[in-house]
Amino acid sequence: MINKAKKINISFLILSLIFTGLDAYTFQEIPFSWIGYAMSAIILLVIGLDKFKKFLYSKFLITYWIAYAILITLIQYFNYSEEVPDLKYSSFDRYILLRLLVIIFFLFTLSNLYNISNHFSFEILAKIIIYSSLFISFMSLISYFSYVFEYSDFYRNRIGTNSNSIQKVLDACTILRNYGTFREPSFLAVWLSPTVPFYFFKFKESPKLQYLVLFPILSIVLSRSLTGIFGFTLAMFITFIFFAFKNSRNYYLLFPIILILIFSTFGNSLTYKFPALDAAQCPPNSADKCDCSIYDDEEDLAKNSVNLNQSIFNRAKIIVTGGVSNFENISRINSYLGEKNVTLLGDGFGIANVKFTNDFNKNNKIIRNNEVQNIYPGLIVSMNNLYANVYFSTGIFGLILFFVSLIQISVSILKQSISRSPILFASFLNILIMYFFQGEELSLFFAYIIGMSLSKKENN
């Protein structure tokens, strides 16, 4: 029975991770990524509720923060009386419920990985992450080259992030980016990059697994996501320097950085630019869809360059030298902070997003069909910054508690054995850096890393 339960846990762990990577697809109108989150409840039941209770009593600060986040969200939800935006694909009640479920499933996953890490070797858990990473990498490369070699891409059936239709990959005069199994190229890079450090664990039975890191690295580079590429590069470099001061020179941490430089420099033969439309199609399409020499600005020119190096590094230089205003999410948040009073306890998850959207819609309008309309009608405007979302949702109190819990997790990582500590630290730091520019909710993989980091079992 024990072996059977272990096999069930491993199967569900792999499936839940893979499902969170199938962001562009739905089953019976339910996104696969949500199914991946929900599977944490099944794993929890397989492990046992008694183990979950023990985890809650383990005095980890992250559990206290989650309890507070859920409580303040429920209080603010039942007391909310302000304007509710007219959402196209959800109701206000359902939207808040989904935000609560994300936090609850995050807690379940924390408990699951903490308990599983105390019974499984780190090597097994690392392999689960690698196999899931390879699956998503292979799927993304198959999808990417379908546009280059003109065979059918996987059918995407989930509404895009900022549109009223399925996410469009093919767009005239734009460069092909690797969307993979996601609705945005940056989502793919953000999902894959924290898995890369695990390829360099010193496996006893499969020492050649590290060579397979070529596939996720290539997938990340072809996504051209600055958040994914530079967040990952910075995390690996900082981790290398930090552990070098501890007399642990983990040179393997520099190898993925070298691979990124190689692929971005010599990978131009893998790039593809979609051809222009026929001149008769402009209008109704804009002129830049029929003439590929027209660009909005230097950043747009760099972004759509067939030269990978220029697309990544020149675009990064343009954005950085342009200041904070070039980071759209940071600019939005700064504008909102200037109009909002300091919040001590927070507005609650979901409610904070609704208030942020109302403020954005009030200050940003466009003329569409001769009418003044919201830029993103019927959609919630994303903060794209976890720390801003934590502040607006749980207030100064919640933000401080959240940061203190991250410090506790970091200390726990540094207490791990030298074979696993740099890997966990690099992945953890990578996620924390990317949360400044991409993503505003706690991810399943973030829970994996934290759960493994809090484990007391040593890898002998």
Give the pLDDT score at 144.
94
What pLDDT, on a 0 to 100 scale, did the predictor assign at position 237? 93
pLDDT tens readout for residues 130-155: 999 999 999 999 999 999 998 998 88
Which structural domain range is residue 201 located in?
59-274+303-454
- Between the alpha carbon of residue 88 and those of residues 379, 432, 451, the distances in Å are 7, 32, 36
Q: Is residue 280 part of a domain?
A: no
Same domain, 37 and 145: no
Q: Are 456 and 118 in contact (CB under 8 A)?
A: yes
> In order along the chain (460 residues), what is the average pLDDT of each group of 10 residues?
63 92 90 93 91 90 96 94 77 91 96 89 90 96 93 86 68 89 92 94 78 94 91 92 82 89 88 86 83 80 83 80 68 83 91 88 72 72 90 96 96 88 94 90 93 71
Q: Are residues 138 and 223 in the same domain?
A: yes
Q: Does 211 map to a domain?
A: yes
State what percent of residues in the chain have pLDDT above 70. 92
Domain tally, the chain: 2
190 & 234 share domain: yes
Amino acid 185: pLDDT: 92
Alpha-carbon distance of 221 to 349, in angstroms, equals 33
At position 218, the amino acid (one-letter code) is L
Token output for 274: 């979609």
pLDDT of residue 455: 84
For residues 149 and 198, state if they share a domain.
yes
Q: What pLDDT, on a 0 to 100 scale, did the predictor assign at position 326?
A: 64
Strands (DSSP E) along 286-412, which ranges?
365-368, 371-374
Tokens of 64: 């206290």
* Predicted structure pTM score: 0.92
User: 30 and 63: one domain?
Assistant: no
In a domain, 157, yes or no: yes
343 and 377, same domain (yes or no): yes
b/e per residue 14-25 (b: at least 16 CB within 10 A) = bbbbbbbbbbbb
pLDDT at 457: 60
Whether residue 98 is found in the same domain as residue 124: yes
